[in-house]
Copies of this chain bind each other. A is one copy, B any other.
């Protein structure tokens, strides 16, 4: 158990060497030539005393804190933040970094978000991750630029800060293909009504995938509503009302899929026997607890957090150029998580 009162000096005294030597040995400084014997003495003295480095003092001296700031919007509203933090934390720690987390409100003024960044800068973080809880475009506080920064799950409204986002179109394709491969030819899409990238991108990919499969993508039924269970329920009722209703349903998200389940139940439709359903988001709380389990496309929050952290550290350590990568946001795969809501269409 490391003793907070032991410094490099105490170790030096105990080992009968100078502080410099202790520093050299403990940090395995490449150019330092210290005899093996001395090294052993130093190490065992450090061990004995329970020495732990004072990262603060190191940071002050080296101008490197080994701390990454994570500004996370609305950290408590979705389970997504947790996955981003986990991905970032694991990637950071693998390289000796730690995370300083600050919650910020997506709806907060630019000024208040500027102050959040400021707090991080005063702590002399080596870089900043700015994470949003859904894929969108953000207006960034100007002081974000004073240190290497990466956007997670969003792109900058202006300018060219490096960013990592989910492959919305790819995710939608995977979802629709799963339905196609199960044999469905009448496939509908229940979409969100709000103006966010995913609304448009998923719809486009939905139609394109059908068309590529030889179906009429443009004619495929689409119903939009609020992106919760109630909206999904209403949209599903509408889309299933026709003469030849779809046998496969792609839903904008898992909450809407949850509503679609209810609509199906009311209409006497069994899932997946009479109706196959695919969701989006992989909100496990919903997807795994619906009956039957909802097959859905996962958003790569963990991967985005890890990717951003990896690359941020590379930039900090001069292993890569941030601007270079910044031209286009990096797009991460959205894999399909198979549960039990997809089956072949009836006859």
Residues of A participating in the B interface, judged by any CB pair closer than 8 Å: 1-4, 52-57, 59-60, 65, 67, 70, 75-79, 81-83, 85-86, 89-90, 93, 98-103, 114, 118-124, 142-143, 146-147, 228-230, 233, 255, 258-259, 262, 265, 283, 285-286, 288-291, 302
Q: By the criterion CB–CB under 8 Å, are B258 and A124 in contact?
A: no
Beyond A4-B146, A99-B102, A102-B98, whether A57 also contacts B55 by CB under 8 A is: no
Alpha-carbon distance between A90 and B93 when the two chains are bound, in angstroms: 25
Q: By the criterion CB–CB under 8 Å, are B122 and A52 in contact?
A: yes
Q: Which of B85, B100, B147, B230 contacts A67 (CB 8 A)?
A: B100
Q: By the criterion CB–CB under 8 Å, are A2 and B143 in contact?
A: yes
Q: Which of B1, B78, B119, B143 contacts A98 (CB 8 A)?
A: B119
Q: List 9 A-B contacts (CB under 8 A).
A: A2-B143, A3-B146, A67-B123, A99-B100, A101-B101, A230-B289, A255-B289, A265-B265, A285-B286
Q: By the criterion CB–CB under 8 Å, are B102 and A90 in contact?
A: no
Q: Which residue of B lies closest to A123 (CB)?
A: B55
Q: Which residue of B lies closest to A58 (CB)?
A: B122
Alpha-carbon distance between A93 and B102 when the two chains are bound, in angstroms: 9
Within 8 Å CB of A229, what residues of B? 288-291
Q: By the criterion CB–CB under 8 Å, are B228 and A118 in contact?
A: no
